[in-house]
Amino acid sequence: MVNVPGRSKGLAKASQPVVGKFHGLGLVCVGYGEQSPPEGRQISAKPRRIRGLLGDILAIHPIFSEISVIVTPTPLAGAVVVDPELLVDHRGYFARLWCEREFASHGLNPRLVQCSVSYNTAKGTLRGMHYQADPYPEAKFLRCTRGAVYDVIIDLRPGSHTYLRHFAVELSAANRRMLYVPEGFAHGFQTLEDHSEVIYQMSEFYRSDLSRGVRWNDPAFGIEWPDVEHRIIADRDATYPDYAPEARA
């Protein structure tokens, strides 16, 4: 049996493990044997009859196409929390973190042109609140790959019904949670642990001439940050002026 935490499907018996390697695609697909499955969603291992290379892949590991992401809307229009659906076995787990087709089906911008990492030595480090102005605003897709952060976004789109509202979520290596941030949002975070690391994927190339920010403690947004004995913040982030819509561009 093959198991994934989440929704429930029917049961099926599986044969001995079979491994298929498709080096040209960078894929290794594994079929499962007779080990006792962990708790979670059970998906039939019966091969599907699909022609071509895709059919060969699914015949070896038919659950490959079943792996998905769990998209949960936030109170802010267009921003969503994304959780991976784990394919679990005795070795650990496998999960898909991003899919162009699936993101587009949820109305999210699937374009990815740059990926960056933010490493933070100490707990209490605050970065933000940053955004890229028109005509090249960027959507961001974020994940904490080490430690934990209190991640905050602000809707700065004047025409939005959630304009000036904020949303916060804890992202950590342990919870594997991810956050999709639409264009027109400011983003920032405060680290909850030493040696925390955040991976960013962006829909637009970075433009220093369009780099903007709003202050982390501006009363216009009313963000309640976690208490910390010593907050570490860059001078630029600490001294943004009070928010003025006309200065946003």
200 in active site: yes
Domain boundary among 66, 82, 100: 66
What amino acid occupies position 55? G
The residue from 93, 136, 163, 200 that is catalytic is 200
Q: What's the number of domains the chain is made of?
A: 2
Catalytic entry in 130, 150, 187, 243: 130
Same domain, 130 and 210: yes
pLDDT per position in the chain (249 positions), as tens? 434 344 333 333 333 333 333 333 333 333 333 344 444 444 334 333 334 444 444 444 545 556 688 999 999 999 999 999 998 999 999 998 988 988 999 999 999 999 999 999 999 999 999 999 999 999 999 999 999 999 999 999 999 999 999 999 999 999 999 999 999 999 999 999 999 999 999 999 999 999 999 999 999 999 999 999 999 999 999 999 999 886 665
Token readout for 164 is 């000036």
Give the span between the Cα atoms of 21 and 172, in whole angstroms: 32
Domain hosting residue 31, numbered range = 2-66
Distance CA 82, CA 169 (A): 11
Does 96 share its domain with 27?
Answer: no
| 223 and 102 share one domain | yes
Q: What is the CATH number of the domain that holds 120?
A: 2.60.120.10
- 136 an active-site residue? no
Is residue 132 located within the same domain as residue 231? Answer: yes
